[in-house]
A and B are shown apart, each in its own frame.
Chain A
Amino acid sequence: MIERPPNQPPPAGEGVSLFGDAPEIDLSRGRVDLTLVRLRMAWRTLRDGWAVFVESRIGVLSLAIIAVFALMAFSHPILMATVWEPDVYDPVTGYAFDRFDHPAPPNWRHPLGTDSLGRDILSQLLFSAKSEFILGITAALVTVGIATTVGAVAAYYGGLVDSLLMRLADLIIALPGISLLIVLSALFNLNLFYLALIIGVLGGFGGTAIILKSQALSIRVKPYIEAARAAGGSHFHVIFVHIIPNLLPLSLLYMMFTVTGAIFAEAVLSFLGLLDIRMSWGIMIHTANVGGYLLSGANYWWLVIPAGASITLLCSAFYLVGRALDEVVNPRLRRHDG
């Protein structure tokens, strides 16, 4: 940073010198340099992290799986607008008029067949991918937003705030989440957004907050926090500018695990028929189960396998990406030092 003489007002503007012949002091340029340096450092961290991440083949494979599902989610509206006529291919209200034997096995017009109500399975599958992403990402963002703030605040202030927040977290950990969601679904109409919000809040004040707090504790005792305080930074400034950015890598890791949990919870509740959602992978299996097609095994595989495999694949992909990120964030797990 550029030194500024004490007891002098800062330069009024760019290129304006208050001291006649004194060399021009350009504050904004210094800022730009610092931002550049920060960007370059962030880029380097990202590159090194990526190098470690790539080393885990499972992680890269899982990332590829997530990318495929994202493509599926994007392809549904495009297909609906171009190739698929809405009367036939709508995931909820469509009916395949070209067949009479619903559930129809896979054929040229319906690559994954139709369900017992004559709706196209592939269309349902693609449509649901989008809602799973919305659900998972919303829940993960809410969780991480709350957990990072709670963890940083609890670690920074300590004392009463800390014990209150941590006892709350203990309480939430002790609650079985799926059972609680089952009870909630009995009492209220849960739709996708409320479900994401509830999962996010439960996760954010629960286990994730405890883990992020323990990380924040180790950041809190670093010299630069003391320096920031000594330089006159407010509590708010220290928490949001110095502690939380250093928590973000670990937060990213726990986002992945939250996505897994959210998609799983949605699928279970939909399977039990307790949610107010138009279409999802869980509802597809629910429909097959209610119709009694599940125990016919491989005869009606297209009713179960695509949806079930999608849930498992997407859940485990997010989980394994989290595991691979764990090796990036936590150097002690790496195969080689460095």
Chain B
Amino acid sequence: MTSYLARRAGQMVLTLFLIVTLTFFLVQAQPGDYATFYSLNPDIPAEAREQIKASFGLDKPLWQQYLVHMKNTFTGNFGVSFGHYPRPVMEVLAERLPRTVVLFLSATAVSFYVGFFLGKAIAWRRGGVLEYAATISGATLFTAFTPAFALMMIWIFAFKLGWLPVGKFLDPLIWRGAEVSANHVFSYMLATAAVFIAFAFLTLLAARKLGRLGTGRMPFLVIAGGAAVIPIVWAFTGVGYLALDILRHMILPIATLTLISFAGTMLLTRNSMLETMREDYVMAARAKGLPEKVVRDRHAARNALLPVITSLVYSLIFAIDGSVIIEGVFSWPGTGMTLLEAVRSEDLPLVMGSMVFIGLFSLLAHVIVDVLYVYLDPRIRYQ
């Protein structure tokens, strides 16, 4: 296991190296010069200009620039953003990365669960109304023009019905008198979510260890109790209304991203289930007289899960791209929107920085899926 992980980590570093190289040479290959972008910006004072030039080695030949760029990137120095001058790129991205991660992780988790659930249901009852409805609506959502669909969601839920805010990360009117920063509250929210997930996981683990006592509704009641404690604790901190405001802004982007990405998992699960359902062990399970639900969930669906996990890489990349678009439309200030903003204002250091971060993000997702697959399938050994 350790050697497998070490090799995967090595591959990841190599791939990241290639991505950084690619972005560097793409920027070099564009018409115009990277150096002039810095020196022509009138906002940058002369001394700072010289300092930046030296730190990037912009007066040296290309291969030396490349080496310096490589060193700077891997030590976390992406330079200074033009659009957010004088903040370093790293600081801008560090502030925005958690927001993207939350948006992406929650949407992926929900869409994977929904997709898997629907996929096994429509494979089990082939040819029913549900199959046609789910396939057509799923494929339509999957191929729906994401920006237009997101705008439609905004129009329905934020504009017409007025249930949710139109976009952005928070409502300035509510935050006007607040003494804490948004990132401060958001990091506490993240901590709460992490604690809750750990609590739910431990409860389920304990329920399994307890045997008969832990079956039935008991563990779910405990988890629900834990969930009920969270709002009470937040109410005492005094910033609960601020957290609620951020939460309200999160709902619509996450729901939209979920809706556009669940169909991929659903259609894959359907195909995988159709293949699994022909296996002998499914017939054996039926012949034993097990209830249909047990045959479906315990015998067929668990084995059908493996190919779906393999293809999860594709849906993860799809969701990362989707979150870039969604962030742009909802003005959700994450990495994706940073990339779009930077591209529009030709903020090259920020473009390179966010591209590297998005690449790193998808690489991490890729590796996690690989490790998960090896963990789920005992037939695969770590080599």
- Footprint of B on A, CB under 8 Å? 58, 170-171, 173-180, 182-188, 207, 260, 264, 267-268, 271-272, 274, 281-282, 285, 289, 294-295, 297, 304, 308, 311-312, 315-316, 319-320, 323, 326, 332-333, 335
Compute how far the CA of A267 lies from the CA of B146 in the bound complex, rounded to whole angstroms. 9
Report whether A183 and B351 are in contact in the complex, using a CB–CB cutoff of 8 Å. yes
Report whether B339 and A179 are in contact in the complex, using a CB–CB cutoff of 8 Å. yes
- Which residues in B have their C-beta under 8 angstroms from that of A297? 155, 159-160
- Which residues in B have their C-beta under 8 angstroms from that of A180? 355
Q: A183-B355, A186-B343 are in contact. Are A285 and B325 (CB under 8 A)?
A: no
Compute how far the CA of A297 lies from the CA of B351 in the bound complex, rounded to whole angstroms. 33
Report whether B278 and A332 are in contact in the complex, using a CB–CB cutoff of 8 Å. yes
Report whether A183 and B23 are in contact in the complex, using a CB–CB cutoff of 8 Å. yes
Q: Give the shortest distance, in Å, between B8 (CB) and chain A (any CB).
A: 11
B32 to chain A: closest residue by CB: A187
Compute how far the CA of A323 lies from the CA of B366 in the bound complex, rounded to whole angstroms. 25
Instruction: Judge if B15 is at the interface, Cβ distance under 8 Å.
Output: yes
Compute how far the CA of A308 lies from the CA of B146 in the bound complex, rounded to whole angstroms. 9
Report whether B340 and A332 are in contact in the complex, using a CB–CB cutoff of 8 Å. no
Contact with A along B9-33 (1 / 0, CB 8 A): 0000001001100010011011100
Compute how far the CA of A323 lies from the CA of B344 in the bound complex, rounded to whole angstroms. 37
Q: Give the shortest distance, in Å, between B164 (CB) and chain A (any CB).
A: 14
Q: A183-B355, A295-B159 are in contact. Are A311 and B340 (CB under 8 A)?
A: no
Q: Give the shortest distance, in Å, between A328 (CB) and chain B (any CB).
A: 14
Compute how far the CA of A28 lies from the CA of B23 in the bound complex, rounded to whole angstroms. 57
- Which residues in B have their C-beta under 8 angstroms from that of A179? 320-321, 324, 336, 339, 355, 358
Report whether B145 and A308 are in contact in the complex, using a CB–CB cutoff of 8 Å. yes
Nearest 10 CB-CB pairs, A to B? A315-B143, A187-B30, A186-B343, A178-B321, A308-B148, A316-B143, A311-B145, A176-B320, A271-B147, A176-B321
Compute how far the CA of A271 lies from the CA of B317 in the bound complex, rounded to whole angstroms. 20
Q: A176-B324, A178-B325, A333-B274 are in contact. Are A186 and B346 (CB under 8 A)?
A: yes
Q: A177-B317, A312-B145, A323-B267 are in contact. Are A182 and B324 (CB under 8 A)?
A: yes
Q: Please tell me the number of chain B residues within 8 Å of chain A, measured between CB atoms.
A: 56
- Give the secondary structure class of A's interface: helix
A-B interface contact total, Cβ < 8 Å: 129
Report whether A285 and B147 are in contact in the complex, using a CB–CB cutoff of 8 Å. yes
Indicate which residue in A188, A282, A289, A320 contacts B151 across the interface (CB closer than 8 Å). A289
Report whether A295 and B145 are in contact in the complex, using a CB–CB cutoff of 8 Å. no
Q: Give the shortest distance, in Å, between A310 (CB) and chain B (any CB).
A: 9
Report whether B339 and A267 are in contact in the complex, using a CB–CB cutoff of 8 Å. no
Instruction: Judge if B142 is at the interface, Cβ distance under 8 Å.
Output: yes
Instruction: Judge if B95 is at the interface, Cβ distance under 8 Å.
Output: no
Q: A58-B135, A175-B19, A295-B159 are in contact. Are A312 and B144 (CB under 8 A)?
A: yes
A308 to chain B: closest residue by CB: B148
Q: Give the shortest distance, in Å, between B363 (CB) and chain A (any CB).
A: 5
- Footprint of A on B, CB under 8 Å? 15, 18-19, 23, 26-27, 29-31, 126-127, 132, 135-136, 139-140, 142-149, 151, 154-155, 159-160, 267, 271, 274-275, 278, 313-314, 317, 320-321, 324-325, 328, 336, 339-340, 342-344, 346, 351, 355, 358-359, 362-363, 366
Q: A179-B339, A312-B144 are in contact. Are A335 and B127 (CB under 8 A)?
A: yes
- Which residues in B have their C-beta under 8 angstroms from that of A316? 139-140, 142-143
Report whether B159 and A335 are in contact in the complex, using a CB–CB cutoff of 8 Å. no
In the assembled complex, 11 residue pairs joining A and B whose CB atoms fall closer than 8 Å, in A order, are: A58-B136, A170-B15, A177-B321, A179-B321, A183-B23, A186-B346, A268-B145, A312-B143, A316-B143, A319-B142, A335-B126
Compute how far the CA of A311 lies from the CA of B143 in the bound complex, rounded to whole angstroms. 8
- Which residues in A have their C-beta under 8 angstroms from that of B321? 176-179
Indicate which residue in A174, A304, A319, A320 contacts B362 across the interface (CB closer than 8 Å). A174
Report whether B314 and A207 are in contact in the complex, using a CB–CB cutoff of 8 Å. yes
- Which residues in B have their C-beta under 8 angstroms from that of A175? 19, 317, 359, 362
Q: Give the shortest distance, in Å, between B200 (CB) and chain A (any CB).
A: 30
